[in-house]
Amino acid sequence: MRDEYALTRFHGDSEVAPGLVDLAVNVRHGSMPGWLAEPLAASLTELASYPDPGPARAAVAARHGRHPDEVLLTAGAAEAFTLLARVLRPRRAVVVHPQFTEPEAALRTAGHEVSRVLLAPYDFGLDPGLVPPEADLVVLGNPTNPTSVLHPAEAVARLAQAGRVLIVDEAFADTVAGEPASLSRRGDLPGLVVVRSLTKTWGLAGLRIGYVLAGAPLVAELARAQPLWPVSTPALVAARACASAEAVAAEEAIAVSLAADRAHLVAALERLPGLTVAGPPRSSFVLVHLAGADAVRLELRRRGYALRRGDTFPGLGPDWLRIAVRDQSTMDNLVAELAGVLGPSL
């Protein structure tokens, strides 16, 4: 029997292969700053001791204006979704799509039924009225992967209500300068759980580090569901370093230059006939609609470029592609290839 949910376990890293330009995974490429590389390297001398999350927890709490009891360090945002799915007991779980599919996959794996709310192309804007009032668990991403859409903080905050857990996946919040839509500091909103990742902007996907910001009682429950010592010493050292004022300023500078590279890509894409850019895009990737996008993706792959297929995301389909924003010359080369695929006369 066909498992209609199997594709929710597909992720961009499966698109990447040696020799291909990776435009499928939304992890920033680039050199690691000294303030991160040095403590990380030094942490390798401490591996004989079990990890102590205390300093990282305090640093992350200070970065977001929260109490350390409201912070849980996790092995990436991915671990957070699994813990939440294991600990929460929703009667009516709703996931707002299109979005990263792992939260839904984790909920289903833990035995929960999940209903979907689908936002509409091409702006994929959030209408809080689409979420059923009786939903006692709501999951959405902001900015959202794969649409790159940033929902206003007020619209997301309106989804929080007594008797409901609202999980906001902010894995890409740091890709937007100033984080205008982040709810990470909103300890006052009932049931709010913010999930953050440090693997994207800082190129730490292999290290596995992220965190949850939530009310202290839920954080304590999630911690009880974790295995012993779930986050390694190097990952904790990275979390502490990435919470510093220097890191936050660097993040902002990266977001500003990312916005310029993204605008360059979007302008070039919009010159191609038949192609629509969803959004406006606000994160480190761009979602495009193009009739026959799946065949175009395969041809680009043959020409050396790995792009992320769109058909595994609920609410999208084979006419969608996601492109990671890289430097402008890589983007120019991609668009030239894409123009060649779409028609030699372009």
Ligand X SMILES: Cc1ncc(COP(=O)(O)O)c(C=O)c1O
List the Cα angle 229/231/235 in 5-degree steps. 145
Binding of residue 174 to ligand X (CB under 6 A)? no
Q: Is 143 in the site for ligand X (CB under 6 A)?
A: no
For ligand X, the closer of residues 182 and 199 by Cβ is 199
Contact residue for ligand X among 16, 87, 153, 205 (CB under 6 A): 205
By CB under 6 A, residue 184 contacts ligand X: no
Q: Does 236 bind ligand X (CB under 6 A)?
A: no
Query: Per rule CB under 6 A, is residue 242 in the interface with ligand X?
Result: no
Residue nearest to ligand X (CB): 76
CA nearest to 11, candidates 137, 102, 91:
102
User: What's the CA gap between 280 and 278, in Å, rounded?
Assistant: 6
- 182 forms part of the interface with ligand X (CB under 6 A): no
- Give yes or no for residue 76 binding ligand X (CB under 6 A): yes
| Binding residues among 288-317 for ligand X as defined by CB under 6 A | none
Residue 210 engages ligand X in binding (rule: CB under 6 A): yes
DSSP label at residue 177: T
Site stretch for ligand X (CB under 6 A), options 16-24, 76-84, 132-140, 233-241: 76-84
Interaction of residue 117 with ligand X, rule CB under 6 A: no
Cβ partners under 8 Å of residue 73, min gap 6? 53, 56, 57, 60, 209, 210, 211, 231, 235, 236, 239
Minimum separation from the CB atom of position 99 to ligand X (A):
7
Give 19's contacts (C-beta < 8 A, 6+ positions apart): 304
Residue of 212, 195, 207, 216 whose CA lies nearest to 241: 207
* Cα–Cα distance for residue pair 59/33, rounded to 1 Å: 18
**Six token digits for residue 37:** 């590389």
227, 146 contact by CB (below 8 A): no
| 110 is a site residue for ligand X (CB under 6 A) | no
- Applying CB under 6 A, does 58 fall inside the site for ligand X? no
229 φ/ψ sector (left φ>0, alpha ψ -120 to 50, else beta): left
Nearer to ligand X, 222 or 338 (CB): 222
320: contact with ligand X by CB under 6 A: no
Please state the closest distance from residue 141 (CB atom) to ligand X, in A. Answer: 5
Of the pair 137, 272, the CB lying nearest ligand X is at: 137
77 is a contact residue toward ligand X (CB under 6 A) = yes
Binding site for ligand X (CB under 6 A): 76-78, 100, 141, 145, 169, 171, 197, 199, 205, 210
